[in-house]
Structure 1
Amino acid sequence: MTFGDTVPIVETPRTILRGHRLQDFDEAAAMWAHPAVTRYIGGRAMTGEEVWSRLLRYAGLWSLFGYGYWLIEEKDTGRFLGEAGFQNLRRDIEPALDDIPEAGWVLAAAAHGKGLATEIALAIHDWSDRHPSRRRTVCIIDPENGASIRVAEKCGYREVTRTSYKGSPVILFER
């Protein structure tokens, strides 16, 4: 059994959300290197080392908190589509997020514009809602990322405040 086999599986009409496996690294690294993907998430391509750290973080989140990020694969083909889930990063941000799970979703460039982000975000929040200790969640989004703001709003998020993270403006949403 590998780590990815211990993460709960969540299905949507078009996708399967499952735990990451070591063999997913190359596809994740390709996604995080694409400018269309990172435009609103740090603004630059991630190195392989940074993506590797993400994969290790995902395992730690599930182990320590009972929630984390799923790998998103297309149900019909098994194709890698992205990642989504909840995290606790102890971000240096005001107001502090404390230990409130922070939702996030990221899709490979080829999966953009197909309504998948909303489908997936609704599914992970449905999963979270079934775990009473995690009903309150937050997310931070670049104010220019209209697509993600619309997804957040469809999931029930409302703007709390505008702040900055690592010198860049962000909107803090709460659900």
Structure 2
Amino acid sequence: MQKEEACHQLSEQWSRDIIFLSSNQSLLDLARDVNVPAIAYQMPETDTFLHADMVVEGFEEVDMTFLQRVYERHFNIPWTILETKRCIVRELELSDLDALFSMYAEPGMTDYMEGLYEYEEELEYQKAYIENMYRFYGYGMWLVFEKKTGTLIGRAGVEHREELNGDMELGYAIRTSFQHQGYAYEVCQAIMQYAGEELQVHLLHCLIQKENTLSEKLAIKLGFSYCGDREIDGVLMSDYQIEW
């Protein structure tokens, strides 16, 4: 059987039913050609770096959650990061943009944070963000949805900040019409736990504009302590930190 015929048959029958694991780059390339999710096993004694959806050096981390995320990443399915009692936190996908613009259009939403770009520019920005942040780092700013209605009610997540010398910042913003209901505290608590358990991050900052008293109160409630001021892009910010 010719390679092209084999690729076609595999692609038609099994591309969404299997995950391929190999230490052979030729076989990994075949998996790519037939659109099959692939994990490369990088054996300790080899100097050749393998290319696949994910590379592992051992199998301790390969569980059902790991396999599911390899599958989702290959087929551009956004990861569900975590769930709380009332919310789902997941990665942004491009089909979320209309809902995102609707949320940002609510009065007061951008009083203490930057707004979005024009639609087409924001679309290109988010394409790059998905590729460079989610795919490369596995974290970033995520979307928050209310379980009961499926409504987009906010954004929250963790990111590196150059101004923090490589430390990570916890960011959060809840839709104006859903504020004062405990959503931000509920979601941020869960993200902090996720950062510690899944990302091995045990130091976080919150950078908050001086006038944003609601965010300052939330940071303190979450256990952050005021550690001084920083001027970022001409704006004076309070630096709150927590280490655990």
Task: Give the TM-score of the pair, scaled to structure 2.
Answer: 0.62
The count of aligned residue pairs is 168
Alignment RMSD (CA, Å): 2.1
Aligned counterpart, 1:88: 160
Alpha-carbon distance between aligned partners in 2 of 1:131 and 1:39, rounded to the nearest angstrom: 32
The answer to whether the aligner puts 1:60 opposite 2:132 as a matched pair is yes
1:146 to 193, 207, 213: 213
What amino acid is aligned across from residue 133 of structure 1 in structure 2? Answer: Q
The answer to whether the aligner puts 1:121 opposite 2:188 as a matched pair is yes
Alignment of 1:153-168 (within 5 A): 153-168=220-235
2:97 to 18, 21, 25: 25
Larger radius of gyration: 2
Deviation digits for residues 84-123 of structure 1 (CA, Å, limit 9, x no counterpart): 0011242xxxxx3122111101112211121111111111
Deviation digits for residues 42-73 of structure 1 (CA, Å, limit 9, x no counterpart): 4x665335643256425522222232122111
Aligned counterpart, 1:77: 149
- Relative to structure 1, is the Cα distance of residues 84 and 165 closer, same or farther in structure 2, using a 3 angstrom cutoff? same
TM-fit CA distance, 1:33:
3.3
Alignment of 1:101-140 (within 5 A): 101-131=168-198, 133-140=200-207
What amino acid is aligned across from residue 118 of structure 1 in structure 2? Answer: Y
Alpha-carbon distance between aligned partners in 1 of 2:116 and 2:108, rounded to the nearest angstrom: 9
Question: Runs of at least 4 residues of structure 1 off by over 4 A?
Answer: none
- Relative to structure 1, is the Cα distance of residues 157 and 4 closer, same or farther in structure 2, using a 3 angstrom cutoff? farther
Task: Structure 2: give runs of 5+ residues left out of the alignment.
Answer: 1-71
Report the 3-state secondary structure (helix = DSSP H, G, I; strand = E; otherwise coil) of the residue aligned with 2:150.
Answer: coil
Q: Is the 8 A contact 1:86 1:104 kept in 2?
A: yes
Report the 3-state secondary structure (helix = DSSP H, G, I; strand = E; otherwise coil) of the residue aligned with 2:203.
Answer: coil
Comparing both chains, which one has the higher relative contact order based on Cα–Cα distances under 8 Å and sequence gaps of 6 or more?
1
Task: Structure 1: give runs of 5+ residues left out of the alignment.
Answer: 91-95
What amino acid is aligned across from residue 166 of structure 2 in structure 1? Answer: D
Alpha-carbon distance between aligned partners in 1 of 2:174 and 2:121, rounded to the nearest angstrom: 17
